[in-house]
Structure 1
Amino acid sequence: MSVSKAEASEYHSKDFNWETLRQEIENDPSLNYHLLPFNSPQPEEQHSNDSIKAWQNFHVQHSSGKFFKERRYLLKEFPELVSCADGSKVLEVGCGNGSTALPILRGNEKIILYACDCSNETLERAKEFIAASNVASVEHRLHPFYCDFATTGFPKFLACDYCREMFSCKDQNCLSDVGEKRTHETDSLSMEERSCCVGGVDFVTLIFTLSAVPLQTMPTAIRECFSVLKPGGLLLFRDYGLYDMTMLRFESDQRVGFREYMRSDGTRSYFFCLDTARNLFISAGFIELEIEYCCVKSVNRRNGESMRRVWVHGKFQKP
């Protein structure tokens, strides 16, 4: 088995039962503080501003691109990115150093990827990282741009007001055909050649991005993703799950909300249960296709410690 296939198999496996883990955690008195209610005293706007600055500083500090590994398992988890129509458009939200963008571009040479991040420095590193990988025609298929989608929304070049209105009417000319393979001649046009916008996207990927957004702004952020998707388009979601190992390592004074924590560098992380994730997306108008815990046991090579990782995997469709 190749390295990439081995990694995909590992990340897709079910090494332990989440309910068993839940019972263990909730019966451990030393971890009881994770279960307590929490009321945040800070206003929502302050949460958002602080979070943006913290992530910008984080990306500057880890600008070498070595902090995150290429997420080769994504195409196994989300095979729609490989089988979709030629010229399908993907919006990757929170692209970081390109660890998600690269396998998507590798896996489908006909896909067009719009990748955004809240750090201009990180976008430059992502472009360098992907350019060095020699992916076919990447200069024509990758369109990185600066955006903090949770506070300012997506730029109009993705979907103008007219297109967003048409999406809500489910015009047949606007429907996504993510499951078919046919060439869209207009999709080969550059943004400069278009009169207004690219006409919306067929996929939105939220891969370990939503958890970095303050909980209060998540509904707005998800509605923004919904607004630029064509009817029938898919939102592909993967993020930290409740009782993941990293959650249990946070101290009580690092809590900034219920199931929400702040690291020493000011970056945030929220840990999703299935119901919370499901309700967020359904409330925004999505239809649930898949949602489950992905439970993976791995071993730290340095100290031999067994680590139980929990992620939430989900697929949601715009009607």
Structure 2
Amino acid sequence: MGKEAEYFSKDFEWEKLKEEVESNPSLSYHFQTFDSNSPSLPSPSQDSQAWNQFHIRHSTGRFFKERRYLLKEFPELLSCDEYSIVLEVGCGNGSTALPILRGRDNIIIYACDCSNEALERANEMIHASNVGSVTDRFHPFRCDFSINGFPKWLACDSCQGNFLQKPHDQISDVKEKKETNLNDLSSLGESKCCIGGVDFVTLIFTLSAVPLHRMPTAIRECFSVLKPGGLLLFRDYGLYDMTMLRFEPEKRVGFREYMRSDGTRSYFFCMDTVRDLFTGSGFTELELEYCCVKSTNRRNGKSMHRVWVHGKFQKPF
């Protein structure tokens, strides 16, 4: 609880940071028009391989910390109905899924990632925890939602059509589904049965790894599998974050879009971009703000200004 008590999200004003960054000549290249004649970008398969290698290098899990602050930022995950279903998109090594499973003893998580290595690490991390009945509540599967979309067993075409006609509480009996065959995802696919949609979608530091031109498609996929009234919980890198400013000019692969030396990518969002992406896909905006956190590097004593974008979006009833 001590660590949670020390967490703040308004340590400084984003507008003031913006002014400081944009008035610094050494950082001006971040805001220049991007040259579209740059070398071709990696293919989707190369993107997945880059993330596979990333998770192999960080296989011990020390690179990731359990995101316990998420339940404070998204209390809906604690107050939701019994047997609510969460679709965690881009689960990584499980650092987001674990605190959610700890926080609610009957919540069900379907977790996908484009990296097989990430899914293995997540499975190991979750099953090594002391979370009760985890084998019944955590279901990882491989999926690159920005390219192939989500599998139909999450919400088939028929269910997606019925979403527009049925009341929210009549779409699916989640408890009954859980007690039948939730562990066997392959049989769900073979029988062409679906779980009737999800109550929550979490996009936690995931969308920034998707190429900008594929983001609208990816968000529409999230919209399609949510039940009416369902929530999408968003958190990702914000404009002028310390990480962005550390990228060298040659790492730019688009406007506010960068490629690391290991082949993984990162985009840095402003609130207007996030708003346009989600409302343009049909979502209703409930919350949207910058989280500005100041911390100190223990080794060199330098201050670090972290900027993230926090958002909550709802699928209309």
User: What TM-score, normalized to structure 1?
Assistant: 0.92
Q: In the aligned structure 2, how far is the partner of 1:240 from the partner of 1:266? A: 18
Deviations 1:67-91 (A, max 9, x none): 1000000000000000000000000
Q: In the aligned structure 2, how far is the partner of 1:229 from the partner of 1:121? A: 27
Match of 1:158 among 154, 160, 181: 154
More displaced stretch, 49-58 vs 276-285: 49-58
Q: Which runs of 5+ in 1 are unaligned?
A: none
- Are 2:136 and 2:178, in contact at CA under 8 Å, matched by a contact in 1? no
Paired letter, 1:143: H
Equivalent residue, structure 2, for 1:125: 121
Question: Against the structure 1 CA distance between its residues 55 and 147, is the aligned structure 2 distance closer, same or farther, given a 3 Å change threshold?
Answer: same
Equivalent residue, structure 2, for 1:16: 12
Give percent identity, aligned residues only.
67
Residue 284 in 1 paired to residue 281 in 2? Answer: yes
- Are 1:47 and 1:214, in contact at CA under 8 Å, matched by a contact in 2? no
- Are 1:95 and 1:115, in contact at CA under 8 Å, matched by a contact in 2? yes
Residues 1-319 of structure 1: matches in 2 within 5 Å?
A: 2-6=1-5, 9-10=6-7, 12-41=8-37, 46-167=42-163, 169-172=164-167, 184-191=175-182, 196-319=193-316
Paired letter, 2:240: Y
Shift of 1:186: 3.8
- Are 2:38 and 2:253, in contact at CA under 8 Å, matched by a contact in 1? no
Shift of 1:313: 0.2
Shift of 1:58: 1.0
Q: In the aligned structure 2, how far is the partner of 1:176 from the partner of 1:70? A: 33
- Are 1:298 and 1:308, in contact at CA under 8 Å, matched by a contact in 2? yes
Q: In the aligned structure 2, how far is the partner of 1:44 from the partner of 1:157? A: 35
More displaced stretch, 39-48 vs 52-61: 39-48
- SS where residue 242 of structure 1 aligns? coil
- SS where residue 160 of structure 2 aligns? helix
Q: In the aligned structure 2, how far is the partner of 1:107 from the partner of 1:38? A: 44
Question: Against the structure 1 CA distance between its residues 55 and 312, is the aligned structure 2 distance closer, same or farther, given a 3 Å change threshold?
Answer: same
- SS where residue 103 of structure 1 aligns? helix
Deviations 1:259-284 (A, max 9, x none): 00011101100000000011000111
- Are 1:96 and 1:123, in contact at CA under 8 Å, matched by a contact in 2? yes
Deviations 1:180-238 (A, max 9, x none): xx984444332358660111100000000000001010001111111100010000000
Question: Against the structure 1 CA distance between its residues 152 and 14, is the aligned structure 2 distance closer, same or farther, given a 3 Å change threshold?
Answer: same
- Are 1:102 and 1:130, in contact at CA under 8 Å, matched by a contact in 2? yes
User: What TM-score, normalized to structure 2?
Assistant: 0.92
Shift of 1:176: 7.7
Deviations 1:167-188 (A, max 9, x none): 2x242156689xxxx9844443
- Are 1:294 and 1:310, in contact at CA under 8 Å, matched by a contact in 2? yes
Shift of 1:288: 0.3
- SS where residue 309 of structure 2 aligns? strand
- Are 1:93 and 1:209, in contact at CA under 8 Å, matched by a contact in 2? yes
Shift of 1:302: 1.2
Question: Against the structure 1 CA distance between its residues 127 and 97, is the aligned structure 2 distance closer, same or farther, given a 3 Å change threshold?
Answer: same
Q: In the aligned structure 1, how far is the partner of 2:80 from the partner of 2:42? A: 40
